């Protein structure tokens, strides 16, 4: 039982916090933060589970998480572009997204 088990667990907690934030927080930017948090949490789980500190780390999850990070930043950019456009068309709508 190495202390490295804390990272995947932290990842899962981050996932939960992100999900809660995404669902409950009205401000759109906070929602974007929330889903980035979820993505990082899931990535921590993906890499963290495989690493028990003994043998060399497994490159496959690392490659996958690298792809995940790039995909997340692309998704964030699209969301933020839409939010910027929305804030111009409907200034008050940005917070009250039902």
Partner 1 sequence: MDGPVTASVGWLVAAPLAGSVATFLLRGRRGASEAVLLLTALAAALATNGLVARIMGSGPYTVEIGSWGAPAGIEWAVDDLSAAFLAVALPVWIAATIVAHGLLHSPRSPRDARVFRKEPGPTARTFWPLWLLLWGGVNALFLSADLFNLYVALELAGLAGVALVATAGVLPALQAALRYFFANVAGSISFLTGVALVYHRYQTLDLQLLRSAAESDASTTVALALLGAGLLLKAALFPMHAWLPRAHAAAPAPVSAILSALVVKAPVYLVLRLWLDVFHVALPPSVLTFVGALGAIGIVWGSARALRVERLKSLIAYSTVAQVGLLFTAFPIVHAAGSRDARWGLVFLAVGHAVAKASMFLAAGGLARAHGHDRLDQMTGFGAREPLCTYAFGLGGMSLLGVPGTIGFSGKWLLATSGLEVWAVPWVVAVSASALLTAAYVWRVLAIAIRSAPEPAGTRPLARRIAWSAFALAVLTVALGLGSGPFVEPLP
Partner 2 sequence: MSLAAWVFDGTLTLTLVVLGWGAVAARDPFTGIVRYITFGLMAALAWARLGAPDLALAEAAIGAGLTGALLLSTLGRMGLRQASRRAGEALGAAPRAPTPLPGMAQAWSGLVLGLSLAIAAVIGGVARTLHGRNGPGLGPLVDSLRETSGIDSPVAVVLLDLRGYDTLLETAVLFTAVLAVWCLGVIRFRRPPWPVDPVLASLARVVTALLVLVAAYLLQLGLHGPGGGFQAGAVLAAAGVLWTLADRRALRLGESRLARIGLTLGLGAFLVAAVIPMLAGRSFLTYAAGSAPAWAWVLETFIAVSVGLTLTALFMGGLSEIAEDEAEERAP
Positions touching partner 1 (CB under 8 A) are 15, 18-19, 22, 28, 31, 35, 38-39, 42, 45-46, 49-50, 60-61, 64, 67-68, 71, 74-75, 78-79, 82-83, 85-86, 89-90, 93, 97
Query: Minimum CB separation from partner 2 for residue 70, in Å?
Result: 5
By a kind-dependent CB cut-off of 5 to 8 A, residue 59 interacts, out of partner 2, partner 1, none, with partner 2
Return the residue matching tokens 């667990």. 9
The H or E element spanning position 26 is none
Give the integer Cα–Cα distance in Å for 85 and 12.
33
- Which three-class secondary structure string do you get for 53-69? CCCCCCHHHHHHHHHHH
Check if the beta carbon of residue 38 is closer than 8 Å to that of residue 82: no
By rule CB under 8 A, what string of x and - marks binding of each residue 38-67 to partner 2?
--xx-xxx-xxxxxxxxxxxxxxxxxxxxx
Query: Minimum CB separation from partner 2 for residue 44, in Å?
Result: 7
């Amino acid at each position: 039982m190495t202390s490295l088990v804390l990272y995947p667990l932290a990842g899962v907690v981050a996932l939960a916090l992100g999900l809660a934030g995404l669902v409950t927080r009205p401000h759109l930017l906070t929602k974007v933060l929330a889903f980035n948090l979820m993505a990082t949490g899931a990535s921590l789980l993906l890499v963290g589970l495989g690493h028990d500190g003994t043998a060399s780390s497994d490159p496959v999850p690392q490659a996958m998480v690298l792809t995940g990070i790039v995909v997340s930043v692309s998704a964030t950019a699209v969301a933020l572009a839409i939010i910027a456009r929305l804030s111009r068309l409907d200034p008050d709508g940005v917070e009250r997204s039902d």
